[in-house]
Structure 1
Amino acid sequence: MRFGMPWPGAGVAREAEQAGVGAFCTGDFADHDAYTTLAEIVANSERALVGPAIAYAFARTPYAHATAMRQLHAKAPGRLFLGLGTAAFRVNRDWFGVPADRPVARAAETVEAVRAWLHAENGEKVRYSGEFYAIDADVRAPVLGRLEIPVLLAAFNARMAVTAGRVADGVIGHGLFTRSWWADVVRPAVERGSGGRSRTEQGWIITAVDDAAPERAIADARRMIAFYLTVKTYDPFVAHHGWEDPVARLRAAFRTGDTDGMATAVTDEMLTEIAVCGTTADATELLRRRAGSLPRDVGYFAPPSFLVGHKRRAAYARSSLALIGEA
């Protein structure tokens, strides 16, 4: 397994590659674009795997995803992967103004349609026919050629994990994932979908290390966990672990804007099962104990982002470099 991190900026990234970080990822949100950031990553990294983990699948057409990757491939051949995620129902409907129904079936077709563009050969039509996408493109310029860029799918619950196993080259796990959620839910579902074929695993690890202020790092990790768990999409995960009572408390605190109350509601068990945080020594021990709960191929040391500024996130990224090789 190689360790990676969400893109920390060029300065930290140079240190990170020298320290052994083997992958950088980026994502989408209202103030940053996955592919714009990916271009920056390509220009400021040398050996690491790089790609979105994740890009919003339905915010762009399959054509747009594929052409961005095709252009970046020219600068980083053999280093790219494409991670797609569906985003929440309301984000698709209210932010992007796109259909948000049947996200599992729609995600499966998106992967297949993107791959049709990535595998397109010069002189041949690009064709795909499905329920959500119909492509019949006659590109009369010699700009194509088959690219074997892995397409991964973010999957939290079992139905999406089965779909990732069936149509994608791998799965991207959420920062909430625990040993049990990987072992009992996601991996078996991916295997059912894949029919035993090999699939890549990537995933996020909520990581906050600060030897000078470990209590603040732990509080930041608790808030990040709480913020994620305000979303009902994760209710099967909550029920699986028997965490309904603390999650009810943190959601009640969230509704009133009580962020300290949200963090307090996250139990020690939840923190230990999900996050790597505290001092370097604490985080090293937690990482070793979590060895079986980490993604098999790439694990991203992901600093908390909820109510955490850019400077502190960069400091957490630097501190996490001390953990490489400890798991």
Structure 2
Amino acid sequence: MRFGMPWPGAGLAREAEQAGVGAFCTGDFVDHDAYLTLAEMAAHTERALIGPAIAYAFARTPYAHATALRQVHAQAPDRLFLGLGSAAYRINRDWFGVPADRPVDRMAETVGAVRAWLHAENGERVRYSGEFHSIDADVRAPVLGRLDIPVLLAAFNKGMARTAGRVADGVIGHGLFTRSWWNDVVRPAVEKGTADSPRPAPPVEHGWIITAVDDAAPERAIADARRMIAFYLTVKTYDPFVAHHGWEEPVARLREAFRTGDTDTMAAAVTDEMLAEIALCGTTADAKAALARRAGSLPRDVGYFAPPSFLVNGRRRAAYARSSLALIDAVPTAA
């Protein structure tokens, strides 16, 4: 497994790549754009894989996804991947003003339409015909040529995981993923999708890993990891995950605390079992021991060791990112 990180900025990224970080990812939110950050990543790295994990799939047209990748590919050839996520229904409706019904079917078509632009050869029309996307572009300028950039899907539940196996090149796991969720839910669904796919190569696995290491203040790191887990679990989309693990009671408590703005009680509701199954946190020694214990709960190909972001300021996130570099040597043994 490659040791990856969410993009930590140009200064720390140079240090991280020299230390052995093999992949960086970026994403979308209201204050940052996945593809603008991807261009920064290309300019300030030399060898690492780089890509969105994830870009909001429906916030842009397939054309917009593909053209951004084409431009960055010229600067970082053979290092790109594209991770797409459907985002929540309300985000699509209320933030982007785009339809997002039937997200699994819509995502499958989006992958096909993005690939139509990425695989387009000079002198050929770019064509794709589906229910949600229809493309028939005669591009006369000699700027095309096939790009085989891997397309991955953020897949939490079975439907999207199966679609990732069927139409994409792989899957991106959420920071909540446990050994059981990977092995009992996500991987079997991806395999079912792969059985329906003509793709010869097996799907790849990327995934996020909540990581908070602080040798000077390990209790604060643990509290930040608990708070991050609690914040994620306020989302009802993850109810099948909660039920699968039998965590309904603590999740009910943390959701009630979230409604009242009591973030300390939110964190306290995350049990020791939940923390051990999901996060790497505490001292460096604690995190290394957790890595060795959690080999089966890690993605097979690329893991993004991600600092908590909920109520954690930029300075502390950067400190967590730098501290996580001490885990690089432990990753091959864990994986």
CA distance in 1, matches of 2:137, 2:309: 41
Paired residue for 1:267? 271
The Cα shift of 1:239 comes to 0.3
Q: Which amino acid aligns with 2:100?
A: A
Paired residue for 1:138? 138
Q: What percent identity do the matched residue pairs reach?
A: 85
Q: Which amino acid aligns with 1:148?
A: D
Paired residue for 1:314? 318
Paired residue for 1:163? 163
Q: Which amino acid aligns with 1:40?
A: E
1:159 aligned counterpart, secondary structure: helix
CA distance in 2, matches of 1:12, 1:75: 20
CA distance in 1, matches of 2:100, 2:74: 33
- After superposition, the C-alpha distances for 1:273-311 in whole angstroms (9 at most, x for unaligned) are 000000001111011111111000000000000001111
CA distance in 2, matches of 1:308, 1:255: 19
User: How many residues were matched structurally?
Assistant: 327
The Cα shift of 1:144 comes to 0.3
1:100 aligned counterpart, secondary structure: coil
Q: Note if 1:282 corresponds to 2:254.
A: no
Paired residue for 2:119? 119
Paired residue for 1:249? 253
Q: Aligned ranges for residues 193-232 of structure 1 at < 5 Å?
A: 193-195=193-195, 198-232=202-236
Q: Which amino acid aligns with 1:120?
A: A
Q: Which amino acid aligns with 2:22?
A: G
The Cα shift of 1:325 comes to 2.2
Paired residue for 2:192? 192
Over aligned residues, Cα RMSD in angstroms? 0.7
1:124 aligned counterpart, secondary structure: coil
1:324 aligned counterpart, secondary structure: helix
The alignment's TM-score, normalised by the length of structure 2, stands at 0.97
Paired residue for 1:258? 262
2:211 aligned counterpart, secondary structure: strand
CA distance in 2, matches of 1:61, 1:163: 20
Q: Which amino acid aligns with 1:225?
A: I
Q: Which runs of 5+ in 2 are unaligned?
A: none
Paired residue for 1:83? 83
The Cα shift of 1:37 comes to 0.5
1:147 aligned counterpart, secondary structure: coil
Paired residue for 1:302? 306
CA distance in 2, matches of 1:171, 1:101: 21
1:39 aligned counterpart, secondary structure: helix
Q: Which amino acid aligns with 2:230?
A: A
Q: Which amino acid aligns with 1:42?
A: A
- After superposition, the C-alpha distances for 1:195-245 in whole angstroms (9 at most, x for unaligned) are 185000000000000001111100000010000000011000000000000
1:323 is aligned, of 320, 323, 327, to 327
The Cα shift of 1:15 comes to 1.1
CA distance in 2, matches of 1:226, 1:50: 29
